Amino acid sequence: MTREEVFVKLNEIFQDVFDDEDINVNDATTAADVDGWDSLEHINLLVAIERGFGIRFTMGETTGLKNVGEMVDKIMAHLG
């Protein structure tokens, strides 16, 4: 999967989790840019990403992510 393909799929997951079809994430997107992205919704988002991509994050990977770009890096690493 290319980085672009990951972004397309990830964007669909964001739109589904936050119930907002206008969301368009990029490398620099942070929690402050998405309405309702609090720590609890972050867990729902991670679960949806794991299911969507068929991967499993460690708990250590789920904290300290600075932006969506870093999240994509983690997904790419799991997809190998």
Partner 1 sequence: MSLVSAAFLAFVAITAIIYYLVPGGARRWILLIASLAFCASCGFYSLVFVLLEAVTTFIGGLLCGPDKKKGLRNVSAIITVILNLGILCAVRYYGVIGMFEESLNQVLAASPATKTFMTYVLPVGMAFYTLQLIGYTLDVRWEKTAPEKNFFRYLLFATYFPYFTSGPMNSYADLSVKLDGSKNAKFSFDRLRDSAIRIAWGFFKKLVIADRIAIIVNNIYGNHETYTGLYVFIGAAAFAIELYADFSGCMDVVLGASHFLGIDLPENFNSPFLSHTIREYWQRWHITLGGWLRDYLFYPLLRTPAFIKIGDVSKKLLGKKKGKKIPVDVALIILWAAVGYWHGGLMKYVIGTGLLHCFYIILGEIVEPVSVKLRKVLHSDKLPYKIFQTARTFFLVMLGHIFFRAVNVPDAIEMYKAIFRPFAINGEWIASLGLDTSNWIVLFASLAVLIAVDIYKYREKQEEAPRLVLEKIASKPLVVSWAVFMLLFIAVLVFGMYGLGYDSGAFIYARI
Alpha-carbon dihedral sign for residues 76, 1, 8, 13? negative
Name the site residues for partner 1 (rule: CB under 8 A).
19, 39-40, 43-44, 46-47, 51, 58-63
CB closer to partner 1 out of 33 and 61: 61
Question: Does residue 41 come out as left (phi exceeding 0), alpha (psi in the -120 to 50 range) or beta?
Answer: alpha
CB closer to partner 1 out of 32 and 59: 59
Shortest spacing between CB 69 and partner 1, in angstroms: 21
CB closer to partner 1 out of 10 and 45: 45
Shortest spacing between CB 45 and partner 1, in angstroms: 11
Q: Reduce the DSSP state of residue 34 to 3 states and report it.
A: coil
Shortest spacing between CB 77 and partner 1, in angstroms: 13
Helix axes 39-53, 3-17, angle to 10 degrees: 130
